[in-house]
Amino acid sequence: MTTQHSPATGDMYRCEKCEMEIHVTRGCKCEEGCASFQCCGQAMKNITEPAVQNP
C-alpha cells in the first residue's frame, strides 16, 4: 500500500497517456490523500522534481 500525500503548492501532475499537466498553485490542507487527479480514465502521476539543495 502506497501513501499518497495531499497536493502541495508547486506540485505537478501529468497524464501518462495524453501528457496533459496540472500545476498546483494552492495546496490542499485536508487529511492525507483527500484529493486526486484523473485523466484519460487513469490516475495522474506526480512528476514534481525534488527541490535542489546546495550545500
What's the domain count of the chain?
A: 1
Q: What is the pTM of this model?
A: 0.75
Distance of CA 49 to the CA centre of its chain: 11
Q: Tell me the percentage of the chain whose pLDDT exceeds 90.
A: 53
Assess if residue 54 is contained within a domain. no
Q: Among the listed ranges 1-5, 6-10, 24-28, which one has the minimum average pLDDT value?
A: 1-5
What range defines the domain where residue 39 resides? 1-49
CA dihedral (34, 37, 41, 45) in degrees, to 10, reads -110
Assess if residue 25 is contained within a domain. yes
Assess if residue 31 is contained within a domain. yes
| Region for residue 41 given its phi and psi (left: phi exceeds 0; alpha: psi -120 to 50; beta: otherwise) | left
Which pLDDT does position 42 carry in this prediction? 96
Supply the Cα-derived Rg of the chain in whole angstroms: 12
Assess if residue 10 is contained within a domain. yes
Assess if residue 55 is contained within a domain. no
